[in-house]
Structure 1
Amino acid sequence: MATLNYLKTAFMANKQLLPGLRVLQKFPRKCSSNFERLDGTNETMSEIKFKMMKSLGLDCGYNPHPKPREHLLPYEPKMEDLPPRSMQNSFTSAIIPLSVSKSLQDRYVATLGHVRLGRLMEDMDLFAVWVCHQHLKIPKLDPSVPLPYTFVTILVDKITFTDFTPHANQDIRLSGHVSWVGRSSMEIVVWLEQLEGDTYKKITRALFLMAARNANNTKSAPVNPLIPANENEKMILAGGEQRKERRKQLQSSSLLKVEPNAEEQKISHDLFVRTTRTDSMELNSRILPNNARWMGDTSIVSTMASFPENRNAHNTVFGGFLMRNALEISWVCACLYCGERPKLETICDISFQKPVNVSSFLKMNAHVVYTQDNYIQIMTVADIIEPSSGNQVTSNIFYYTYKAPSKVAEVLPRTYDETLWYIDGRRKLKYALKTE
């Protein structure tokens, strides 16, 4: 009943929605000193991580040869064996107890005493997997048998941050539930809030698209169908369908597949005219207008090794680790570009294209690809480098929208590749500023 009452509060509390998805603005709730959750428990993120490993039959500690899971393949259920679930069945929450843990404060604190948002992205990714566990129900599975599933992040949709600034000495709560389900994929909505006084204030909300895979991550696995329990859940489910269609449209309109539209082609030509000398036909002779910077001069690169510490339960690099490092290098790039401390406004369309082996090197390359007034659009590309051969392949692309305290210099492309990045960055900024 507590879960049902919570969901009713969450559904009704906020009028600013993703299509069909009500997102909680604020929880006016008194909190006890032992971090009591609304469902009467007080689990922390470290506790749910341990629970997930136990559920999957994984051991703590590093082993260069991951524990085989092929023996679990026969236990994978058929779709008809999976009973329907509602959104309230998967609702759960967890605490990051910053108010009582000095070691956690050291890990989460940023300059000026704020929380490192990259750390929170790590937690949200892990928490989304935990929500998947709550949704999955296999009546015929013997309780002594580990869960014959693997869950991987496919993409992260639009994440919009509020004006509330989280501090590194107050508790943070993650809450979430499944908001849409396909045959083997699940959309998870996650809310992030921090306790201030006796009230939880919203930091952000995020949408994760997760894929259910079999025990050894070689093919997709079925998940319980989602049946809405009430009108509110019907509305949320309809919004999930709309977001699914939007993702299809984004893929079909990608600049890697189709040419820019008429308006974007005109913008490209205008950019060429503005940056080309009219008194000389010398090849590649370009001019930079006043208060502008070339895109090629804005990028910063960081190359790092990944270690077993950064692995997930299946011995590849944890997606949250990639999101944290990509976010932090994007923030450095934005700071260096505007010379001030910008505020992260939105993250959108994080795509996970390739798994990253723990033994790989990672190269993060952040670029300023578009600017408008005091907004800075950053694109960060994560490449996997194979140490023995030096071969590179892109693993992830991240898009971040920052807002600087004052108007920033205009960024301009110099090559055709950069022009396409510019157009794509313009699309991302328009989407980030869109009020839904």
Structure 2
Amino acid sequence: MDNNSTSSPSKTIPVNSTFANPFETIDASSSLRKPLSLWPGMYHSPVTNALWEARSNIFERLLDPPTDAPPQTELLTKAPSRSRTSILYNFSTDYSLREQYRDPWNEVRIGKLLEDLDALAGTISFKHCSDDNNTTRPLLLVTASVDKIALKKPIRVDTDLKIVGAATWVGRSSIAIKLDVIQQACQGEKTDTTDDDDVALTANFTFVARDSKTGKSAPVNRLLPETEEEKNLFEEMEEIDRLRKKMRNERGRALEKGEETERLNALLAEGRIFCDMPALANRDSILIRDTTLENSIICQPQQRNIHGRIFGGFLMHRAFELAFSTAYAFAGLRPCFLEVDHVDFLRPVDVGDFLRFKSCVLYTEVENLEQPLINVEVVAHVTRPELRTSEVSNTFYFTFTVKPEALKKNGLNKILTVVPATEEEARRVLERMDAEKS
């Protein structure tokens, strides 16, 4: 592998539209290497195409790994700068690209952006884990979780956009990736520096490494932060990892002591009235089961990633669209996206799988009238009718809000409170609330 592709600071990778120009003849034979869009069945988008063109030597090796190659034996120590990658959307000048990302309200489609974030995070993890040796077999890197994606301000579709990311922390076989989506306030005020006000969205991904032959967990290259900011991010991720382990232990002890019984009963009190005395139930509340939506898809070859599995970003996109629709139907007006709170990738999804997405409003937070919160859960099930089995492959948690002026315009004072009707629903609510506090 070309060492320059991973050791030197990366240049910004431009993103171009994947819409074909009807007046332009495309010569597919003009390059010895086929572009990503010509690989049969491979999932592609403007960003995956751009990453392919910029890092072709990495991806070609993954598509055609050496036969019976030995595993990586020597772990390298790399700085975050070795994996840092940035991509640029020229929305201000590329009208076809703008059209691919425009939503009905002339903002960027969040679901499509989630796809791109996952693709870029995957590229960064590959760059960090590469051993610069073409004779060893590459690692299989998969998205383990999305820890937080927070929208800080609306993202316009008429102004250039940049995504910058790098590895921030590594464990034995896991890599944490932080991404920043940057959009300056005014197109005419471009500068080389980035202010905090320019960051429109932040995202944190965790990838895990597997041996591509045995499927077992594999160690990854060490990370050596160099700058003060990199060191702070590394320490922050260390603390987050420690707190997660502590929370898991504390939750286990709480369950053993039965400390959650009182909280469960408090949550279930209103739900029991809905079930037993519906005429007397609070009209400002609604049961979780009455907020549900569902859709199903058959996973197609065109949606697979470089390893032949269904692309994680595609799953996030589909889950987001359903979550948005769920919040829309629940609130009665267009919701505003705030956060992807957490995504778990519990098992891989394969081509041909029958995938069912089930969503509900898990709970609402109505105390802040200026920004009421709608917390939506989406669960993806891989269903196999021939085997009569159904397994959870992914869980997604999204947070939306509604504008108070829009509520008043529609003659509403506030959004409804959502209550569980069963103990299983109440436990899911408590687990999510506790996770939000951690």
Q: TM-score, normalization: structure 2?
A: 0.77
Assess if the C-alpha contact under 8 Å between 2:150 and 2:201 holds in 1: yes
Assess if the C-alpha contact under 8 Å between 1:82 and 1:225 holds in 2: yes
Counterpart check, 1:135 vs 2:133: no
Counterpart check, 1:161 vs 2:151: yes
Q: Which residue of 2 aligns with 1:213?
A: 210
1:234 CA displacement? 2.5
2:429 is aligned, of 386, 408, 422, to 422
1:204 is aligned, of 201, 205, 208, to 201
Which letter does structure 1 place at the counterpart of 2:401?
K
Q: Determine helix, strand or coil for the equivalent of 1:157.
A: strand
Q: Which residue of 2 aligns with 1:18?
A: none
- Counterparts in 2 of 1:249 and 1:301: CA distance versus 1, 3 Å: farther
- Counterparts in 2 of 1:72 and 1:321: CA distance versus 1, 3 Å: farther
1:333 is aligned, of 326, 335, 345, to 326
Assess if the C-alpha contact under 8 Å between 1:369 and 1:377 holds in 2: yes
How many matched pairs?
Answer: 375
1:413 CA displacement? 1.1
1:247 CA displacement? 3.0
Assess if the C-alpha contact under 8 Å between 2:355 and 2:383 holds in 1: yes
* 1:172-228 C-alpha deviation (Å, 9 max, x unpaired): 211011110112211110111235413473221111111122234712232221122
Counterpart check, 1:384 vs 2:382: yes
Task: Please report the RMSD computed on the Cα atoms of aligned residues, expressed in angstroms.
Answer: 2.9
Q: Which residue of 2 aligns with 1:179?
A: 168
1:50 CA displacement? 4.3
Rounded Cα–Cα distance in structure 2 between residues aligned with 1:260 and 1:319? 38
Which letter does structure 1 place at the counterpart of 2:430?
I
Q: Which residue of 1 aligns with 2:33?
A: none
- Counterparts in 2 of 1:321 and 1:42: CA distance versus 1, 3 Å: closer
Rounded Cα–Cα distance in structure 1 between residues aligned with 2:266 and 2:204? 36
Rounded Cα–Cα distance in structure 2 between residues aligned with 1:69 and 1:102? 38
Q: Which residue of 2 aligns with 1:227?
A: 224
Q: Which residue of 2 aligns with 1:289?
A: 282
Which letter does structure 2 place at the counterpart of 1:269?
N
Assess if the C-alpha contact under 8 Å between 1:55 and 1:147 holds in 2: no
Rounded Cα–Cα distance in structure 2 between residues aligned with 1:253 and 1:358? 39
* 1:316-341 C-alpha deviation (Å, 9 max, x unpaired): 10000111111111111111111112
Rounded Cα–Cα distance in structure 2 between residues aligned with 1:257 and 1:311? 41
Rounded Cα–Cα distance in structure 1 between residues aligned with 2:53 and 2:347? 26
Which letter does structure 2 place at the counterpart of 1:48?
L
- Counterparts in 2 of 1:273 and 1:186: CA distance versus 1, 3 Å: closer
- Counterparts in 2 of 1:225 and 1:370: CA distance versus 1, 3 Å: same
Assess if the C-alpha contact under 8 Å between 1:70 and 1:215 holds in 2: no
Which letter does structure 2 place at the counterpart of 1:417?
E
* 1:410-430 C-alpha deviation (Å, 9 max, x unpaired): 111111112112323433554
Name structure 2 gaps, 5 residues minimum. Answer: 1-8, 16-46, 367-371, 405-413
- Which shows bigger deviation, 176-185 or 246-255? 246-255
1:261 CA displacement? 6.7
Q: Which residue of 2 aligns with 1:239?
A: 236
Name structure 1 gaps, 5 residues minimum. Answer: 1-37, 60-66, 432-436
Assess if the C-alpha contact under 8 Å between 2:13 and 2:54 holds in 1: no
Q: Which residue of 1 aligns with 2:41?
A: none
Rounded Cα–Cα distance in structure 2 between residues aligned with 1:42 and 1:109? 21
- Counterparts in 2 of 1:58 and 1:233: CA distance versus 1, 3 Å: closer
Assess if the C-alpha contact under 8 Å between 2:150 and 2:202 holds in 1: yes
Q: Which residue of 2 aligns with 1:267?
A: 263
1:89 CA displacement? 2.2
Rounded Cα–Cα distance in structure 2 between residues aligned with 1:96 and 1:216? 37
Assess if the C-alpha contact under 8 Å between 1:85 and 1:224 holds in 2: yes
- Counterparts in 2 of 1:324 and 1:301: CA distance versus 1, 3 Å: same
Q: Determine helix, strand or coil for the equivalent of 2:347.
A: coil
- Which shows bigger deviation, 153-162 or 229-238? 229-238
1:165 CA displacement? 1.5
Rounded Cα–Cα distance in structure 1 between residues aligned with 2:257 and 2:323? 26
